[in-house]
Amino acid sequence: MTTKGLRWRIKTRKRNARKPPRPPQAAARDPLADHPMLPYMHEHLEWLAVHGYSADTVQSRRVAIRRFIVWCDERGLMKPADVSKQVVERYQRHLFYYRKPDGKPLTSGTQMGCLVPLKLWFRWLARENHILYNPASELDIPRDGKRLPRVVLSIPEVEAILAEADPSDPMGLRDRALLELLYSTGLRRTEAANLAIYDADFHRRLIAVREGKNKRDRVVPIGERALAWLDKYLLEGRPQLLTHEHEALFVTDYGEPCLPAFIAARMRKYMECAGINKPGATHLLRHACATHMLEGGADIRFLQAMLGHEKLETTAIYTHVAIDKLQAIHTATHPARLHRAQHEPGSAPAPEAQEALARVLDADEAEPDQTA
């Protein structure tokens, strides 16, 4: 460095030393910080956490109640006692007519997600004597229709996605083991991210899911192929990725425990590599697992226990998706076809059609009468 350059640097340091330090930037002030309803919300959320509600549930309740408080603030409603039955019904109509930036209305599920926490909040306020009565006690929650999965991956599509994970390096080996486990067990991405190394029982071929949705534990069987990839990952891949000791089963490229968003990003990457342009990510493997097992003859109550559904009606959605057997029966029995059947009209139906029809009739007779 030249003498001139050294003098310039010394002079710059002296000038900067004389400058007063910049004041720290103040954090953005919460516009609802002084709203009288906010302390009641915080007290309710604390009550939920103390009584064992999950962090995700507490956060969703926070978002829903805060949205209502913002709506009340715009209308000059400052205290829970200011909220009447008519106000709650007016808020429900507001949600129904609300339009998102793209012009679409809120789905019935989103409206339920806004109103159910509100109803429970006011019930808590009345029970704790913060208000004289519950204005939301008679609020009718909109019915949420049972919607089928938008997309179900076929078996060749699933195999194409799994094959994209290159097991020649530790990251690819981890991804292959992760995708195989998701497809074999039907776990949610959060459940897969929370797995520990001791949750895999190789001798009994089981995966222990601890504190799944609604904090329910369950044990899930895992297939031989997925278990083999998992064993290979634990022996060859995880030790190379691990930077410090912890119990997480799946780790990132930097040795940290995987987060649900990381798992979804890996799934989306391999879908794009396989040329599958369908909406969704990790949950597609869960849908595929349930649908393919149902088509293979699995009992719906077994699937309910495996997927961790609280209600059988949730699992029953997959019976409307798995239609391969129904298609085969339709093809074998319906007379309106593009090509004429092998046998002449009036002759006996084909043996496979008779067997398919007999199975359907037997299953129909075995079902209890719901109208009795």
Residue in 130, 210, 309, 325 annotated catalytic: 309
143 is a catalytic site residue: no
What is the DSSP code (8-state) at residue 170?
H
Residue in 40, 233, 270, 318 annotated catalytic: 318
Direct distance between the N- and C-terminal alpha carbons of the chain, in angstroms, rounded to an integer? 96
Is 301 strand, coil or helix?
A: helix
**Phi, psi (rounded to 5 degrees) for 181:** -65, -45
Q: What's the CA gap between 1 and 342, in Å, rounded? A: 95
What is the DSSP code (8-state) at residue 237?
I
Contacts of 118 (CB under 8 A, 6+ apart): 64, 65, 68, 88, 91, 136, 139
269 is a catalytic site residue: no
Q: What's the CA gap between 256 and 195, in Å, rounded? A: 13
Residue in 44, 61, 189, 286 annotated catalytic: 286
Q: In sequence order, what DSSP letters do the residues of 195-229 get, joined into one string?
A: -BGGGEETTTTEEEE-S-GGG--EEEE--HHHHHH
Element (H, E) at 146: none
188 is a catalytic site residue: yes
Q: How far is CA 82 from CA 20, 39, 68, 330, in A?
A: 50, 15, 13, 60
Beta-carbon neighbour count of residue 335 at 10 Å?
6
Contacts 24+ apart (CB under 8 A), 78-81: 78/35, 78/36, 78/37, 79/36, 79/37, 80/37, 80/40, 80/122, 80/125, 80/130, 80/131, 81/131, 81/132
320 is a catalytic site residue: no
Residue in 213, 218, 232, 269 annotated catalytic: 213
Which of 284, 288, 282 is closest to 250 using CA atoms? 282
Strand order in the sheet with 200-201: 200-201, 206-209, 218-221
Element (H, E) at 25: none
Residue in 67, 269, 283, 325 annotated catalytic: 283
Active site residues: 188, 213, 283, 286, 309, 318
